[in-house]
Structure 1
Amino acid sequence: MFAVLKTGGKQYRVQSGDVLRVEKLDAQAGDEVQFNDILMVGDTVGAPLVKGAGVKATVIDQIKGEKTINFVKRRRKHGSQRKKGHRQQLTLVRIGDIMESGADKSGLRAAVSGRGMAFAAGGLAAVAAGAAAAYAATRGDDDSAKAPAAKDKPSATEKEAPTPKTAKEASVTGGADDLKKLSGVGPALEKKLHAAGITTFEQIAGWTDEDVEKFGEELNFKGRIEREGWVEQAKELSK
């Protein structure tokens, strides 16, 4: 009795004992598999498949087909040429029993395509991890060598004492006035005044015309101090 089965996009007419080369299957040498896509068994023709029919087979080996050469030349593409070889991955199987019915209860694993199985169901991550490990092994990388040494936490006695503030910083944080109360003075301008040593209203109230001109040039505010009336405001705020 013969059967016509379909696998890998092709159809094969088989009998018990035939040795067949089919598209790569997801199986190892010695495994028993079952083809369930049966188009015809004896005189029974499927529509399109024969219900309950199956063909048992034993995997002999995973092989490659003959090498084919693909040569492409594009005359109008500046002499572009490309030559590429290819060997198709195949599975060699021996056909066993041909069942007209009851194949769905045989318990054998179905013969499924093995093309791209390494990348299915999360296999891509495993393949990538394996490739990374192989690359690291060729370079002799050692993760333990790369790991930075843990720094010992300093004890309470080893901690550095805080750096004492300078006299200028002490004056700014200690008895400094809120210079932002002056018209036109914001946080940025207040920092510039502190950097110039001006921290109190009393200092600004004591400015002379020479001081006003001097600080106007240093702070790049020429003429603004007079327009805003900082000296008069500082005299009122320092009371």
Structure 2
Amino acid sequence: MFAVLKTGGKQYKVQSGDVLRVEKLAAAAGEKIQFNEILMVGSTIGAPLVAGAGVQAEVIDQIKGEKLIHYVKRRRKHSSQRKKGHRQQLTLLRITDILEAGADATGVKAAIGAGSAPKTAVEAAAPKKAAKAAAPAAGADDLTTITGVGPAAAKKLVEAGITTFAQLASVDVETFDAVKVKPEWVEQAKELAK
């Protein structure tokens, strides 16, 4: 039985026991991974993917591909030349199983590209912290509904302790120096606080 899987923007026709070089995946040598983007199993063609199908593989090693030379030469007088080399990061795999159905319940780690996986726990937690900071506190008004107040100004107002329209409406423009508050903002806040 064969399957057509998709990884790294490319499609591969594989059978059990095949050794395959694909773009670098976030997995260590000896680890078992599973590809869930299966385009075809045997003669079953999916639209766009075959539901419940999967291909399991064992990572043999993380390797580099052959060196590719990129050479640029401009002809005629005063021309320039440039030579650059590159070796692509690859993962060497051995296909172990092709599953026509039930791949969702196997519990094997899904194969993801190395560029899309967070490198550390700190990087993984960073988007969550940013989302919490961006979300307004309970009972707070959305200050960006006021004309002229964007996300940056709203953040400065929240840092200064102004979270509601009523608090902004009670601000004295001349004496409040934490944030440059415009008189139009105060007028709009008075209308919205009603």
TM-score bracket for the superposition, by shorter chain length: 0.5 to 0.7
Q: Deviations over 1:59-92 (max 9, x none)?
A: 0000000001001123479412110000000000
User: Max radius of gyration: which structure?
Assistant: 1
Structure 1 position 59 matched with structure 2 position 33: no
Corresponding residue for 2:95? Answer: 95
Corresponding residue for 1:213? Answer: none
SS across alignment from 1:115: helix
TM-score of the pair, normalised by structure 1: 0.48
More helix by share: 1
More strand by share: 2
Aligned pairs for 1:161-176 within 5 A = none
Corresponding residue for 2:192? Answer: none
Offset of residue 50 of structure 1: 0.3
Matched AA of 1:8: G
Q: Distance in 1 between matches of 2:21 and 2:42?
A: 22
Q: Deviations over 1:3-33 (max 9, x none)?
A: 0000001100000000100110000000000
Q: Percent identity over the alignment? A: 71
Q: Distance in 2 between matches of 1:77 and 1:107?
A: 64
Q: 1:44 to 1:67 in 2, by over 3 A?
A: same
Q: 1:11 to 1:72 in 2, by over 3 A?
A: same
Q: 1:46 to 1:93 in 2, by over 3 A?
A: same
Corresponding residue for 1:85? Answer: 85
TM-score of the pair, normalised by structure 2: 0.59
Corresponding residue for 1:44? Answer: 44
RMSD of the TM alignment (CA)? 2.2
Corresponding residue for 1:22? Answer: 22
| Gaps in structure 1 of 5+ consecutive residues | 125-239
Q: Distance in 2 between matches of 1:67 and 1:38?
A: 30
Q: Deviations over 1:205-227 (max 9, x none)?
A: xxxxxxxxxxxxxxxxxxxxxxx
Q: 1:97 to 1:88 in 2, by over 3 A?
A: same
Aligned pairs for 1:119-134 within 5 A = 123=123
